Amino acid sequence: MRVFVAIDLPEFVRSELVHLQNTLPIGRPVPEENLHLTLSFLGEQRDKAIEEIHAALSDIRAPVFDLQLVGVGSFDQRKQQVIYADVARCQQLLELEQRITRSLRTAGVEFQKRRFRPHVTLSRLASLMSASETHNLHERLANILAFRASPFEVKSFQLFQSTLTPDGALHEVLANYELESG
């Protein structure tokens, strides 16, 4: 089973991101129901490992915090270009990601650790672009760099299953983990 840990976005933030996607010049937009902020991509895992992941995530204690998406950018991911909404600096988000990583590693879950760059993927381009195409993209993105989504409270994070299909990925929440308020 292909799984990842993420923050599912509130409906009003998703609506703002869909509006932003409609102003983007190029790419294949991520469907509204798939917009999320990945905390840890765990890849293919066996059923036994899913149980260990769930147990490890269930033990995490972290406070509720506020988050805001601000600005847009692009980067190369594997063999394609990704356009994303950036995340305002948030120490509590970084600490939550670190707790998740430590907890999963302590539980013996194997996954490739990548440098955490919090973002919400908005659109994917079919292939990597040339230097001049990248420059043109950045010029077009400059018009929407001032994007600011409404702030929202992060009250939980989720374990998702991702099923790849010819029409794109289908995401399903397997478990929800509440954060501590107050």
- pLDDT tens track for 83-94: 899 999 999 999
Nearest one of 83, 2, 100, 120 to 50, comparing CA atoms = 2
Domains identified in the chain, total number: 1
pLDDT for residue 73: 83
For all residues of the chain together, what is the average pLDDT?
90
CATH classification at residue 120: 3.90.1140.10
pLDDT for residue 35: 97
Q: What is the pLDDT of residues 11-27, one digit of tens each?
A: 999 999 999 998 876 77
How many percent of the chain have pLDDT more than 90?
Answer: 68
Q: What is the pLDDT of residues 96-127, one digit of tens each?
A: 999 999 999 999 999 988 889 999 999 988 66
Give the C-alpha separation, 104 to 107, whole Å: 5
pLDDT for residue 130: 65
DSSP secondary structure of 137-176: HHHHHGGGTT-BPPPEEE-EEEEEEEEEETTEEEEEEEEE
* Structural domain harbouring 159: 2-178
77: pLDDT strictly greater than 80: no
Q: Which of the pair, 172 or 142, is modelled with greater confidence?
A: 172
